[in-house]
Chain A
Amino acid sequence: MAYDKFNIVKSTAVPLSIENVDTDQIIPARFLKATERKGFGDNLFRDWRYNNDGSPKTDFVLNNSKYSGKILVGGKNFGSGSSREHAAWAIYDYGFRCVVSSFFADIFKNNSLNIGVLPVTVSPEFLAKIYQAIDADPKTELEVNLPDQTITLLATGEKETFAIDGYKKHNMLNGFDDVDYLQAMKNEIQSFATHMVL
């Protein structure tokens, strides 16, 4: 699926310091009924963001005008549970390009990379620093530099490097996707298939 290239993102960040944020919270199942990829951002964190009558819950961070930006900072074990890619779509559609956490669930991490949201894994200590910095000044900026694989707290210059495999990095930098790569090797796949036992 096409997405915008990712190079360097310099932005304020939204702190969501909750652990084990599962994809049912990111986008509840009842909003998965679409047959097109449209409008998922409106229902991002639906049940944490809105009351049953549709009014916003004022204590939820997305409803707090102090916080904004292209980076979402989540707690440990972010994106656990259901494999719904809709969770990553909702995050992208809302306007985030990057999620920072100390630990991601596997499927969520894959899904994000596939649709152009960069998951950045930092140490628990650095995560705590980010939360402190945003707490002290909601306008503080982070820089996520994909070519260098670094994340920097711009106010203090403190930075950490993060891991991403070379193939996925290349894709993200260029907005490429795996379907194209696989299409280009169809003959190889075809001949592999004929040699399978089952």
Chain B
Amino acid sequence: MNNTPKTLFDKVWDAHVVRSIPDGPDVFFIDRHFIHEVTSPVAFLGLKNRGVKVMFPEKTFATADHNTPTINQHLPVEDPLSANQLKALEENAAAHGISHWGLGNPKNGIVHVVGPENGITLPGMTVVCGDSHTSTHGAFGAIAFGIGTSEVEMVLSSQCIMQAKAKKMRINVNGKLGKGVTPKDVALFIISQISASGATGYFVEYAGEVFENMSMEGRMTVCNLSIESGARGGMIAPDETTFAYLKGKEKAPKGDAWDTALEYWKTLKTDEGAQFDKELNYSADEIEPQITYGTNPGLGTGISQNIPFASTVKDGEASYKKSLAYMGFAEGEKLIGKKIDYVFLGSCTNGRIEDFRAFASIVKGRKKADNITAWLVPGSHVVEQQIKDEGILDIITAAGFQLRQPGCSACLAMNDDKVPAGKYAVSTSNRNFEGRQGPGSRTLLASPFVAAAAAVTGVVTDPRDLL
């Protein structure tokens, strides 16, 4: 062992390199592999064609989420194609001895919500899934990132993938967040500063007081959005908050195993003097509640601001104008007061209990605006149960909202939860791409507070006025 100072990322990476191929990638060992119905069937087909078995079935976990309905989950799934994918997942999991939390299972929910919730994701691990928001799990000090279906097949068949080590970036945010400013706002702020491709080629470590003071839910929201700045993933050093969250979780280590793990986890931080390829610093008081106005997550700003002029943006001018044209917005316009048609609270970005608490804190004692259709979709059955237990269901019901059943829902609109063409949605999800929430849909990404404020006023509203 040499004593060169290492970053958190280096430590976890280096511990998982099985072999370095000269002039090629590393053969990289994977501790935890999540699969869902959409990106796994072709990988299983590949195994079948090669006559290969799953090497470590106990390291792969299956859940159905992308394609599932968010009402009447006790009934057969109507869409035959979706039903077929769900069936394929169930059969493939059964055939290979993989644990499967299908529709109706009390553990079911969005893959990046149920993994951490059950203690499957732990500090120092490598975690992959055929979904780009796998970066969520980096909140635990894990290296976690999304992979393609060929790589899903690699993990199933050999528990490894081929990866070149990314460059390293540290983003420090210090100070104290203001009223109504959430982890989502911190993430959207960073993306708006560095653009949707600003961290491409990098793995990000988030550091500084803002992240140290954040809950695990908040850290997951931040790491989740890493991919929206192009980063391979993002991670936060594990600390007492992390350990307290994990203690007692079903699949977390117990007894002596816990003590051994804890000792190791405490070493997982960036050493003094370790080198990053890039380092960025922001101050918490620069950040107000954010909202996006364009068709990539980098096109966002503080909610009290106006839509920037094309001449001031870093994106190409033509792309920027195309983006505004799609949204039906003009340069220089105010965002506050824009009429909204749909509100979506949910997804692996903001479908956790804290997000529902935040939403409820604003709608409490108010009424849903008549022009708004709202979809409130918990990230898992566990979250759904918490919503009931904490009395949040009563608050939102009194305000005229309904709670749906867990799943990805309008985040990618593979099921029936589609925003119609031309309509505006304030969404707590992660992507505002053209048609992401349904063909022709127009998405404004924001926090649960901003979503709640729009839901009760019917227009884009600064949530600080309602808190």
Contacts and interface: CB of A to CB of B under 8 A. Distances in A.
B330 interface: no
B428 interface: no
A35 B89 CA distance: 10
A117 to B, nearest CB: 12
Contacts of B55: 186, 189
Nearest to A22: B433
A132 to B, nearest CB: 15
B164 interface: yes
A52 B435 CA distance: 12
Interface string B2-31: 000000000000010011011111010101
A158 interface: no
A131 to B, nearest CB: 12
Contact of B132 (A52, A107, A192, A197): A107
B351 interface: no
A189 B151 contact: no
A110 B151 contact: yes
B8 to A, nearest CB: 16
Nearest to B89: A35
Interface in B134-149: 145-149
Interface in A145-198: 165-168, 177-179, 181-183, 185-186, 188-189, 192-193, 196-198
Interface stretch (A7-15, A80-88, A134-142): A80-88
B230 A80 contact: yes
Interface stretch (A24-32, A56-64, A65-73): A24-32
B39 A20 contact: no
B319 interface: yes
A33 B319 contact: no
Given A166-B24, A178-B150, A24 B433 contact: yes
B170 interface: no
B296 A20 contact: yes
Given A111-B148, A198-B124, A182 B154 contact: yes
Interface stretch (B196-204, B241-249, B356-364, B376-384): B196-204
B296 A35 contact: no
B81 A33 contact: yes
Contacts of B81: 33-34
Contacts of B200: 77, 103, 105-106
Interface in B170-218: 196-197, 200-201
B287 interface: no
A197 B160 contact: no
Nearest to A19: B319
B41 interface: yes
A114 interface: yes
User: Which one of A19, A75, A115, A183 has the greatest number of beta carbons of chain B within 10 Å?
Assistant: A19
B190 to A, nearest CB: 16
Nearest to B67: A33
B39 A167 contact: no
A143 interface: no
Interface string A102-130: 01011100110011000000000000000
Contacts of A29: 66, 412-414, 436
A106 B232 contact: yes
Nearest to B229: A80
A93 to B, nearest CB: 13
Q: How large is the interface on A (under 10, 10 to 19, 20 to 34, 35 or more residues)?
A: 35 or more
B94 interface: no
Given A19-B319, A33-B414, A168-B24, A189 B150 contact: no
Contact of A24 (B84, B315, B435): B435
Given A19-B319, A75-B316, A168-B24, A198 B122 contact: yes
A19 B296 CA distance: 11
A83 B132 CA distance: 5
A188 to B, nearest CB: 6
B363 to A, nearest CB: 29
A146 B296 CA distance: 33
A106 B148 CA distance: 11
A182 B197 contact: no
Given A167-B23, A167-B25, A193-B56, A178 B154 contact: yes
A180 B292 CA distance: 44
A35 B48 CA distance: 13
Contact of A182 (B27, B39, B434): B27
Contacts of B232: 106-107
B100 to A, nearest CB: 16
B398 interface: no
Given A81-B132, A179-B50, A20 B435 contact: no
A185 B433 CA distance: 41
B439 interface: yes
User: Which one of A52, A177, A181 has the greatest number of beta carbons of chain B within 10 Å?
Assistant: A181
Contacts of B79: 33
Given A166-B23, A198-B122, A193 B296 contact: no
Contacts of B315: 19-20
5 contacts: A22-B296, A77-B200, A179-B150, A193-B29, A193-B56
Given A1-B42, A32-B414, A47-B434, 20 more contacts: A1-B150, A1-B153, A20-B197, A24-B412, A24-B433, A28-B435, A29-B66, A33-B82, A36-B41, A80-B196, A81-B132, A82-B132, A85-B130, A167-B24, A178-B151, A178-B161, A185-B158, A186-B55, A198-B31, A198-B125
